[in-house]
């Protein structure tokens, strides 16, 4: 293996050490609210998957830089890159990560507000307007219908009254009134007994 390939491999492994430091900080930032004392299978699986993905990324970079040959200086370069990240870049990266997360949250909140203002509020307003229009139309239709029924009912009522008098039904009703009073009195006495 030539000196250039070794230098390139060491440089890429040092960069991978910096990347692993940043990945650990990022993963820790998003999982820092989890409970420490209790064991959780989901958390354990997430941790294992995280480290498997990091190992695969490092191996892929190693495969691209020196065809996957593992030497002692590769581990040394990884440790040096990680140490350089811890000493020089960690505070800067964490601050940058927090700002990015804040901006993403603000962008999400602005998007939700815009969605509410531009889509949900107009739909609510339109639904209220449609409801008001429906109520108004129904009220108008009912008013017109009642007016028409009154117009039709009055002549029918007069005709029925005339027929009632001409046919002599009013005499028959007068004859039935004593019987109807007796039935009414019977029901009233039954109600008083129950009370």
Contact 70, 3 (CB under 8 A): no
Q: At 195, is the pLDDT very low, low, confident or very high (cuts 50, 70, 90)?
A: low
Contact 34, 43 (CB under 8 A): yes
Residue-range domain boundaries for the chain? 3-129
What is the spatial distance between Cα 87 and Cα 173, in angstroms, rounded to a whole number? 112
The verdict on pTM exceeding 0.85 is no
Q: How many CB atoms lie within 10 A of CB 84?
A: 16
Contact 33, 39 (CB under 8 A): no
Q: At 1, is the pLDDT very low, low, confident or very high (cuts 50, 70, 90)?
A: low
Contact 50, 111 (CB under 8 A): no
Mean pLDDT of the chain: 86
Please tell me the least confidently modeled range out of 5-14, 93-102, 131-140, 168-177. Answer: 168-177
Greater confidence (156 vs 34) lies with 156
The three-class DSSP label of residue 31 is coil
């Amino acid at each position: 293996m030539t000196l250039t390939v070794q230098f390139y491999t060491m440089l890429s492994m040092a960069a991978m050490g910096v990347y692993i430091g940043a990945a650990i900080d990022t993963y820790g930032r998003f999982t820092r609210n989890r409970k420490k004392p209790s064991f959780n299978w989901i958390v354990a699986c997430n941790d294992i998957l995280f480290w498997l993905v990091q190992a695969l990324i490092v191996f892929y970079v190693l495969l691209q830089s020196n065809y996957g040959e593992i030497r002692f200086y590769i581990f040394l370069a990884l440790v040096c890159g990680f140490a350089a990240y811890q000493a020089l870049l960690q505070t800067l990266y964490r601050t940058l990560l927090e700002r990015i997360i804040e901006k993403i949250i603000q962008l999400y909140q602005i998007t939700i507000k815009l969605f509410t203002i531009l889509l949900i509020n107009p739909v609510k307003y339109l639904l209220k307007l449609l409801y008001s229009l429906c109520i108004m139309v129904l009220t108008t239709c009912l008013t017109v219908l009642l007016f028409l029924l009154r117009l039709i009912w009055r002549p029918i009522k007069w005709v029925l009254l005339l027929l009632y008098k001409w046919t002599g039904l009013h005499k028959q009703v007068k004859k039935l009134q004593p019987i109807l009073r007796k039935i009414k009195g019977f029901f009233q006495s039954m109600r008083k007994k129950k009370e």
